[in-house]
C-alpha cells in the first residue's frame, strides 16, 4: 500500500515524543527525552524492523510525485506487518477450510472459525442488512478477520500494530466507502440513488441539501478511519506513558505501580483488539444496510402511491 509522505500518525508520535521528552528533562537529568523517543519508536512507524538482536533496515525508494502530491512507496514497519497479517490470515483460513471440509461437524480450530462466522452472519449482517446482505459476507468477514489479525499481531513482542497507522485505516475506510455506495446503487438503482441526494425536499433547497448529503457520504468512512486509528494508537501510547513514569521517578517502588497498570492495560488491549474489529465490521454493515433498506422504503412509497 502506498504510504503518503505526510503521515498523520507519525506527526502525532513526534509531537508526543517532544512533550514526554520535556517532561523527562524537567523531572530529572537532561537527555531523558531519548528514553521516551526509544519507547515511542515501537509505537510509531519507522524504516527499521525490530528483531531480538538489533534492527533490520527496510528497502527505501525515491518518492513518486503524482499531480503535485508526493507518495513514499518505501517499505516501512507497518507495511511489513500488514503483509504478515495478510499471510497469517490466509494461512489460518486455508487450515480452517481444509479441516471443515473433512468433517461434517467442525471441531477444534475449524469450529472456532465457524463460531466467528456464524456470529458475524446472525448478529451483524442479517440484523443490519437483511437476508440480502448475506451476499456481502465474504467482504465483511475478510474485513473483520483482517482487522482482528493486525490488532492482535501488534500485541506480540517485536510486533507492530498496522491499524495504528492512519494510512492503513484510511485504506480500509476507502474500501468500505466503495462497498457502501456500491451496495446502495445495486439495491436502489442509479436513478433513485442520485435522487436521494436531494433529501426529498423542494428543488429550491437542492443547492443546500445536495452538498450536505454528499458530505454525509464521506463522514461515515472518515469516522471509521479515525475511530480505529485512535483506539489502536491510544492504548499503546498509555503503556508508553506508564513506563515513562519509571524513568522519570527512577525508583523501584514507583515501578511496581506502572507495571501493574501496564499488565492490566495489556489485557484490556486484547479485548479492544477484538472489539474494534467488531465495531469496524458492524458499522460498515450498518452503513451498507441503510442504503439497501432505502430501496425497500422507496418501493413501499410507490405501492402506497398506487
Helix (H) or strand (E) holding 63: none
Share of the chain above pLDDT 90, in %: 36
How confident is the model at residue 299, as a pLDDT? Answer: 53
Do 7 and 45 meet the contact criterion of CB atoms below 8 Å apart? yes
Largest CA distance in the chain: 81
Q: What is the mean pLDDT of the chain?
A: 81
Domain ranges for the chain: 3-305
Phi/psi at 130 (5° precision): 80, -175
Instruction: State whether residue 33 is helix, strand or coil.
Output: helix
Nine cell digits for residue 15: 509531537
Where does the pLDDT of residue 39 fall: very low under 50, low under 70, confident under 90, or very high at 90 and above? low
Give 242's pLDDT tier (boundaries 50, 70, 90).
confident
CB 175 within 8 A of CB 128: no
- pLDDT-derived band at 223, boundaries 50, 70, 90: very high
Q: What is the pTM of this model?
A: 0.81
Indicate the SS3 state at residue 22: helix
Q: What is the pLDDT of residues 156-201, one digit of tens each?
A: 888 888 998 999 999 999 999 999 999 999 988 888 888 888 877 8
* Close Cβ partners of 104 (under 8 Å, ≥ 6 residues apart): none
Q: What is the pLDDT of residue 40?
A: 66
Q: What is the pLDDT of residue 42?
A: 65
Q: What is the pLDDT of residues 57-87, one digit of tens each?
A: 888 888 888 888 888 888 889 999 999 999 9
Of 76, 5, 27, the closest CA to residue 249 belongs to 27
Amino acid at each position: 500500500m502506498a504510504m503518503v509522505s505526510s503521515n498523520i500518525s507519525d506527526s502525532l508520535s513526534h509531537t508526543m515524543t517532544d512533550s514526554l521528552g520535556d517532561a523527562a528533562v524537567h523531572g530529572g537529568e537532561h537527555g531523558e527525552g531519548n528514553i521516551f523517543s526509544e519507547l515511542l519508536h515501537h509505537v510509531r512507524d519507522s524504516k527499521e524492523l525490530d528483531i531480538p538482536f538489533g534492527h533490520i533496515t527496510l528497502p527505501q525508494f525515491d518518492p513518486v510525485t503524482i499531480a503535485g502530491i508526493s507518495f513514499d512507496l518505501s517499505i516501512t514497519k507497518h507495511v511489513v506487518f500488514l503483509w504478515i497479517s495478510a499471510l497469517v490470515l490466509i494461512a489460518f483460513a486455508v487450515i480452517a477450510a481444509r479441516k471443515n471440509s473433512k468433517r461434517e461437524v467442525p471441531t477444534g480450530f475449524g469450529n472456532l472459525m465457524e463460531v466467528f462466522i456464524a456470529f458475524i452472519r446472525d448478529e451483524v449482517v442479517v440484523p443490519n442488512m437483511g437476508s440480502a446482505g448475506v451476499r456481502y459476507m465474504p467482504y465483511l468477514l475478510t474485513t473483520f478477520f483482517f482487522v482482528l489479525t493486525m490488532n492482535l499481531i501488534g500485541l506480540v513482542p517485536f510486533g507492530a500494530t498496522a491499524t495504528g497507522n492512519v494510512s492503513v485505516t484510511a485504506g480500509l475506510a476507502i474500501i468500505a466507502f466503495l462497498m457502501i455506495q456500491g451496495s446502495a446503487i445495486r439495491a436502489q438503482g442509479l436513478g433513485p440513488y442520485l435522487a436521494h441526494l436531494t433529501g426529498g425536499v423542494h428543488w429550491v433547497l437542492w443547492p443546500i441539501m445536495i452538498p450536505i448529503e454528499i458530505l454525509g457520504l464521506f463522514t461515515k468512512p472518515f469516522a471509521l478511519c479515525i475511530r480505529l486509528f485512535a483506539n489502536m494508537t491510544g492504548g499503546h501510547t498509555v503503556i508508553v506513558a506508564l513506563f515513562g513514569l519509571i524513568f522519570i521517578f527512577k525508583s523501584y517502588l514507583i515501578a511496581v505501580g506502572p507495571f501493574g497498570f501496564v499488565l492490566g492495560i495489556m489485557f484490556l488491549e486484547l479485548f479492544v483488539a477484538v472489539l474494534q474489529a467488531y465495531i469496524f465490521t458492524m458499522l460498515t454493515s450498518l452503513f451498507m444496510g441503510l442504503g439497501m433498506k432505502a430501496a425497500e422504503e422507496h418501493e413501499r412509497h410507490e405501492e402506497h402511491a398506487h
